[in-house]
Amino acid sequence: MAAPTKPHQTHDSLSNGGQAFRRSLINWFEDNAKDYAWRRTQDPYAILVSELMLQQTQIATVLEHGYYDRWMQRFPNAKALALADETEVLKHWEGLGYYSRARNLQSAAKIISTDLSGNFPTTAVEIERLPGVGPYTAGAVASFAFDLPAAIVDGNVARVLARIFDLREAVDSGPGNKLLWELARQLMPKRKNAKSREYNSALMELGQRICKRASPLCGKCPVAHYCATRDPVNLPVKKQRAKTELIEEHVMFCVRKNAVLLEQEQGSRRKGLWKLPELQKKNSGEKQTHTDKPILTLKYSITKYRVTMKVYQARASKASKGRWVTFEELDDLTLGAPYRRALGKLI
Ligand code: SF4
């Protein structure tokens, strides 16, 4: 692997430990910080919950739909989550997607409440051993809960650092990512209780509100003085993305009295979630008992796929697998978001 190249340009006071840089950023943050529920607590479990929820979901979605508050009311600590039924855990996650996060959170809660006798790990290295926790999440929990000088690099921080240091490496390449982490560590305070909590929060918030992806507000930036780039809009550099693949999904809508036929997902990503049954293949030997044309078409995206889902009215056959679910029961089941959307339109 090629050695990471040095940043293009570094402001003197950044190569001197970054104390003045941190002070400018923290001063701005203290005057402008947004008030999120997870910023009002230093409970590591609550912070882990918020970080996993926010991993692939926008803050606005988590807040506006009350996911975090509902979760914390129902599972206020690791023990409550460890003892809960997985079906209920997934139900509280419904709509956030990427359900492996909910499963990992429950696995982590079980480790904390049993193997660790209820004691949350207290260093970034130990926190990173929990299921579903990578270097970013470990650093976030260690700094936000314990004020440890643990670095973090997420999308917002990567963008800010790439611009401050005028990095020309692709930040999603191995060498570019390694360099980002080195820079993030260099800028951290060197000891505990030195406002790492505020500094990391400020760095992320600067990326969200000032150093924006398409239109950075450099005129309002509290650390513009330290920023090396003259070309912020074209930073960070990224590798070419995998192309989106277009695929079709054909599913059945079978209704009997006030019940609909559903089946459970088998794949690892959404295992256990309920969905509309797949249409039997023409060569499966099954008699075709569905409409020729779809009664509903809708589109959704998952990872690199853009899916066109076609729903056909159908009659269940003896060979149909799945479960008849009454319309009243639908609210209690955990359904993949596209299927709930489809049922919302059809029922
Ligand atoms: S000066 Fe502009 S590009 Fe540099 S960190 Fe601030 S907002 Fe980002």
In this structure, what CATH number is given to the domain that contains residue 274?
Answer: 3.90.79.10
From 200, 234, 268, give the residue that closes a domain. Answer: 234
> Token digits for 242?
């995998």
CA distance 118 to 128: 17
Our mutation pick for probing the ligand 1 site, out of 10, 220, 227, 233, counting the most ligand atoms within 8 A of Cβ, is 227
pLDDT digits (tens, 9 = 90+) for 46-65: 999 999 999 988 898 898 89
CATH number, residue 103: 1.10.340.30
The pair phi, psi for residue 240, each rounded to 5°, is -65, 135
211 alpha carbon – ligand 1 mean position (Å): 5
Please report whether residue 171 resides in a domain. yes
Instruction: Tell me, using a 6 A CB cutoff, whether residue 233 lines ligand 1.
Output: no
Considering the domain architecture, whether residues 222 and 252 belong to the same structural domain is answered as: no
Considering the domain architecture, whether residues 286 and 163 belong to the same structural domain is answered as: no
Closest residue (by CA) to atom 3 of ligand 1? Answer: 232
More confident residue, 314 or 117: 117
CA distance 250 to 138: 41
Closest residue (by CA) to atom 2 of ligand 1? Answer: 218
CA distance 159 to 299: 31
216 alpha carbon – ligand 1 mean position (Å): 6
Considering the domain architecture, whether residues 207 and 297 belong to the same structural domain is answered as: no
Instruction: Tell me, using a 6 A CB cutoff, whether residue 137 lines ligand 1.
Output: no
More confident residue, 5 or 107: 107
Considering the domain architecture, whether residues 149 and 24 belong to the same structural domain is answered as: yes
Please report whether residue 269 resides in a domain. yes
Instruction: Tell me, using a 6 A CB cutoff, whether residue 218 lines ligand 1.
Output: yes
pLDDT digits (tens, 9 = 90+) for 82-109: 999 999 999 999 989 889 999 999 999 9
* Domain extent at residue 133: 12-234
Please report whether residue 6 resides in a domain. no
Q: Are 245 and 301 in contact (CB under 8 A)?
A: no
Res 1: pLDDT: 39
Helix ranges (H only) for 94-154 are: 100-110, 124-127, 135-146
Q: State yes or no: is 265 an active-site residue.
A: no
pTM score, two decimals?
0.83
Considering the domain architecture, whether residues 209 and 145 belong to the same structural domain is answered as: yes
97 alpha carbon – ligand 1 mean position (Å): 32
Res 288: pLDDT: 53
- Give the total number of structural domains in the chain: 2
Res 110: pLDDT: 98
The alpha carbon torsion through 291, 296, 301, 307 (nearest 10 deg) reads 30
Instruction: Tell me, using a 6 A CB cutoff, whether residue 210 lines ligand 1.
Output: yes
Res 242: pLDDT: 80
| pLDDT over 60 at 193, yes or no | yes
Helix ranges (H only) for the chain are: 12-15, 19-32, 44-54, 59-64, 67-74, 78-83, 86-93, 100-110, 124-127, 135-146, 155-164, 174-187, 196-209, 337-346
Considering the domain architecture, whether residues 218 and 267 belong to the same structural domain is answered as: no
In terms of phi and psi (left: phi > 0; alpha: psi -120 to 50; beta: otherwise), the region of 251 is: beta
Considering the domain architecture, whether residues 288 and 197 belong to the same structural domain is answered as: no
27 residue type, one letter = N
188 alpha carbon – ligand 1 mean position (Å): 19
Considering the domain architecture, whether residues 97 and 36 belong to the same structural domain is answered as: yes
Considering the domain architecture, whether residues 65 and 128 belong to the same structural domain is answered as: yes
Considering the domain architecture, whether residues 230 and 270 belong to the same structural domain is answered as: no
